[in-house]
């Protein structure tokens, strides 16, 4: 007999998470696939309906648009990115062992983090941001930074997490649709799902999203967050993130058959230990079930949006801490064990 999850247990999990070191607030929404379970709790300095930066969970929204465009016949995943960028942009984008691979990279390479294009979001960039040095990045600066870094493999040969890939995907989307990524997200996803508290962060004076933390320090990075649109710039709530997550997995935007291709898991060792497929991540929760863990995406802010097929549970929320993934994973794991 499948166990149900008591509301008091979910509330306790969320409350306990804010007792962890440097976790000042947490919010969690958990729902079952059959909709018989739908619970939402906030704790600490986060209310359950507070908007927050979803950071790299934004990549699921990019994946959604790409796959929708594919289903409509506007692109194929094996299309070369040279179809969408000028020679100037591609110039020396990817040179490895003396060979230029810049025009051999495909959309799928970008989505699966197998392009070999370096991540601009390196240790130096991270150090400056967590030290409170707010700065604008954006497409041109990202590409120039990536071009200055060492390439470690030819496209398709290995896997390396790179935010640069999703900046390129965002620009490809804009080129195809002929609208900016803000408008694309709004028309293709936010309006489609009637999301009223979800938007792309662009106004540096916008104080709606919850303040992020880096350890014990408040982290105010409006210039940075407003400049990284397709890579991590969406603001949402746990409830609206749940609406999107269920639509993503249940075939609202693209055929469910596509998931067979997306689950081409390759192990990543950074920015954490997890598998990456094609535009989606897989977080193992036990050694016995390495490739059947949580499917979805993490955000650097402690944000999460995951589906666990084994228990048919969906999870969204945040711990709002720059390195808050462990506390978030702890909440989800407790609920999964409780459900079994």
pLDDT value of position 1: 40
Single pTM value for the model: 0.97
pLDDT value of position 323: 87
Burial of 148 (0-12, 13-18, 19+ CB in 10 A): exposed
Could you tell me which residues come within 8 angstroms of residue 169 by beta carbon, excluding any fewer than 6 positions away? 62, 66, 107, 110, 111, 230
User: Integer distance in angstroms from the first to the last C-alpha of the chain?
Assistant: 9
Q: Which domains does the chain have, with CATH numbers?
A: 7-339 (3.40.710.10)
Angle, alpha carbons 4-5-8 (nearest 5°): 140
Could you tell me which residues come within 8 angstroms of residue 268 by beta carbon, excluding any fewer than 6 positions away? 113, 159, 160, 161, 274, 275, 276
Burial of 173 (0-12, 13-18, 19+ CB in 10 A): buried
pLDDT value of position 122: 85
User: In the chain, which stretches have pLDDT less than 50?
Assistant: 1
Q: What is the DSSP string of 181-213?
A: HHHHHIIIIITTTT-SS-EE---TT---SPPEE
**Alpha helices per DSSP H over the chain:** 7-17, 58-71, 87-90, 107-111, 123-130, 139-147, 163-177, 181-185, 222-225, 229-232, 238-249, 259-262, 325-339
Q: What is the pLDDT of residues 235-272, one digit of tens each?
A: 999 999 999 999 999 999 999 999 999 999 999 988 88
């Amino acid at each position: 007999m499948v166990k149900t999850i008591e509301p008091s247990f979910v509330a306790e999990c969320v409350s306990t998470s804010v007792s962890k070191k440097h976790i000042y607030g947490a919010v969690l929404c958990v729902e079952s696939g059959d909709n018989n379970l739908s619970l939402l709790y906030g704790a600490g300095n986060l209310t359950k309906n507070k908007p927050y930066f979803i950071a790299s969970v934004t990549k699921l929204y990019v994946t959604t648009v790409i796959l929708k465009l594919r289903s409509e016949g506007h692109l194929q995943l094996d299309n070369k990115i040279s179809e969408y960028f000028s020679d100037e942009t591609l110039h020396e984008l990817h040179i490895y062992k003396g060979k230029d691979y810049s025009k051999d990279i495909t959309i799928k390479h970008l989505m699966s983090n197998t392009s070999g294009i370096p991540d601009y979001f390196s240790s130096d960039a991270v150090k400056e941001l967590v030290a409170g040095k707010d700065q604008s990045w954006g497409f041109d600066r990202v590409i120039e930074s990536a071009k200055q870094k060492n390439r470690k493999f030819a496209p398709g040969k290995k896997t390396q997490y790179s935010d640069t890939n999703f900046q390129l995907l965002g620009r490809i989307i804009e080129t195809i649709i002929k609208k900016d990524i803000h408008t694309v997200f709004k028309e293709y996803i936010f309006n489609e799902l009637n999301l009223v508290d979800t938007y792309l962060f662009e106004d540096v004076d916008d104080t709606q999203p919850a303040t992020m933390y880096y350890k014990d320090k408040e982290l105010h990075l409006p210039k940075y967050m407003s400049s990284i649109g397709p890579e991590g710039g969406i603001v949402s709530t746990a409830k609206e993130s749940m609406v999107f997550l269920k639509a993503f997995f249940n075939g609202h935007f693209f055929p469910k058959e596509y998931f067979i291709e997306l689950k081409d898991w390759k192990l990543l060792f950074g920015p954490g230990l997890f598998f990456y497929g094609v535009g989606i991540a897989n977080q193992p929760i036990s050694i016995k079930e390495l490739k059947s863990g949580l499917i979805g995406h993490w955000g650097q802010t402690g944000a999460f949006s995951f589906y666990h097929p084994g228990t048919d549970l969906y999870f969204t929320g945040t711990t709002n801490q720059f390195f808050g993934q462990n506390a978030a994973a702890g909440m989800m794991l407790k609920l999964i064990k409780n459900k079994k």
